[in-house]
Amino acid sequence: MLRLFTEALGAFILQRLTDLPQAPAISYALPGAVPGKDALSLFLCTIAEDADLRSNEKLYEQTAFGWVAVQPPLRLKCSYIVSAWPAADDKEEAALSQARLLGSVYSALLSAGSMPLSFLSAPLNSAGLPKPVIALTENALSNRPEFWISVGCAFRPSFSFTATVSVPAAGDSREYTVEGLDIGYDIRQG
Fold of 2-48+76-169: STM4215-like (3.30.2000)
C-beta separation of 7 from 1 below 8 A: no
Q: What is the pLDDT along the chain (190 residues), one digit of tens a residue?
A: 889 999 999 999 999 998 888 899 999 988 887 788 899 999 998 899 887 656 666 666 677 777 777 677 788 999 999 999 999 889 999 999 999 999 999 999 999 989 988 898 888 887 777 889 999 987 767 777 788 888 888 888 899 999 999 887 765 444 555 455 455 555 665 5
Give domain limits for the chain.
2-48+76-169
For residues 178 and 65, give the distance between their C-alpha atoms in angstroms, rounded to a whole number.
Answer: 9
Query: Residue 157 carries which side chain, given as an amino acid letter?
Result: P
Question: Cis omega (within 30 of 0) on the bond before 130?
Answer: no
Q: How many Cα atoms occupy the beta-carbon half-sphere of 166 within 13 Å?
A: 23
Query: Residue 13 carries which side chain, given as an amino acid letter?
Result: I
Pairing mode, strands 66-70 and 175-176: antiparallel
81 has which bridge partners?
Answer: 43, 160
Closest CA to 129 of 142, 119, 144: 119
Q: What angle do CA 16, 82, 99 make, to 5 degrees?
A: 75
